[in-house]
Amino acid sequence: MPHLPTKTLIVIAGPTATGKTAAAIEVAKHFNTVVVSADSRQFFREMSIGTAKPSAEELSQVKHYFIDSHSITEPFSVGDFERECLVLLDELFKKHDYVVLAGGSGLYIKAICEGFDDLPTADPAIREQLNLELEEKGLNYLQEKLKLADPVYYNQVDLGNPQRIIRALEVFESTGNPISSYRQAAVNKRPFHIIKLALNMPRELLYQRINYRVDIMLQQGLLPEVTSLLPYRHLNALNTVGYSEIFDYIDGNTTLDKAVEMIKQNTRRFAKRQLTWFRKDQQFIWFDAGAPDLIEKMIETVEKTS
């Protein structure tokens, strides 16, 4: 029988502002393929400036999927993404030997590469109560509850993400079992080869790029974008860096300058958490995002390992 070519998923990950979008486009162009986004906020049509979506010019260079694919009014979980994306990849691999999966959302990348845990459905009343506790007592209170309920997951989860903490607590309070007990020991075998590439740069340079990017977002109209989303501020999608801080300013709780400074600080913290997540995965091959021959090195690595 003839040897069938191995289909390969090229993952391009790393912290925010390292140039993943530009790198993914160049790699996709080389392999004559497409880019699938694994950014948990760029799915949403209503959120553009604050999510640093690829520009119209970038989107015109190669076909992108999961950009502007959903509305913030539609519930869209990581489990939904896994199901929809695997169906899409099955179709894409009929036409392409390579597909690029690019983004900074580690959990979404993990869902595609390894599968996501089949978690029990929780009582909606419990989620409502936990959201009330978040509003009245703050995130620290829920963090401490999680620490007592599930110290294993407490040490793994992004503690700055209230939705993940609430999800873990609602599973615990619904079932009496910690969410860590449901997490898969085994990795789901995928019908394609996976190569994981990650970008990084010296911290000082990364923080400069983050600060500059936030300034550009303000120039591009972040404030009007967030203001237009005020009627939807209760939705999970908008409980994120770049939007929460502007809502605080609109509410009169802070000045615009302070809100902008908090966006920069919270984005820098987010980048640190992303780095921690990706470094835990030993399969990632790391590249200096500022190297002049970055794309050549990434392509060479793919060709050697695929």
| Residues of each annotated binding site | 14-21
Count CB neighbours of 175 within 10 A: 16
Among the listed residues 221, 196, 141, 256, the one whose alpha carbon sits nearest the alpha carbon of residue 14? 196
Q: Please, how many CA atoms are within 13 Å of residue 151, restricted to the half-sphere of its CB?
A: 1
Percent of the chain with pLDDT over 90: 72
> DSSP string covering 154-189, please?
HTTS-TT-HHHHHHHHHHHHHHSS-GGGGS-SSPPP
| Residues of each annotated binding site for ATP | 14-21
Q: How many structural domains is the chain composed of? A: 2
In the chain, DSSP assigns E strands to: 8-13, 35-37, 64-65, 98-102, 193-200, 285-288
**Domain CATH code at residue 231:** 3.40.50.300
Per-residue pLDDT reduced to its tens digit, 70-83: 999 988 888 899 99
In angstroms, the CA 197 to CA 14 distance is 8
Boundary (domain end) residue, out of 162, 182, 202: 182
Q: Which of 52-66, 102-116, 211-225, 283-297 has the lowest mean pLDDT?
A: 102-116
List the beta bridge partners of residue 285. 197
In angstroms, the CA 127 to CA 134 distance is 10
- Give me the residue label for tokens 């959201």: 131
Percent of the chain with pLDDT over 70: 95
Instruction: Please check whether residues 106 and 130 belong to one and the same domain.
Output: no
In angstroms, the CA 71 to CA 152 distance is 34
Residue 59 lies in a domain: yes
pLDDT over 90 at 120, yes or no? no
Predicted TM-score (pTM) of this structure? 0.82
Per-residue pLDDT reduced to its tens digit, 228-283: 999 999 888 898 999 999 999 999 999 999 999 999 999 999 999 999 999 999 99
Domain span at residue 208 reads 8-117+185-305
| Residues of each annotated binding site for substrate | 16-21
Instruction: Please check whether residues 102 and 228 belong to one and the same domain.
Output: yes
Q: Residue-wise over 275-295: b if at least 16 C-beta within 10 A, else e?
A: bebbeebeebeebebeeeebb
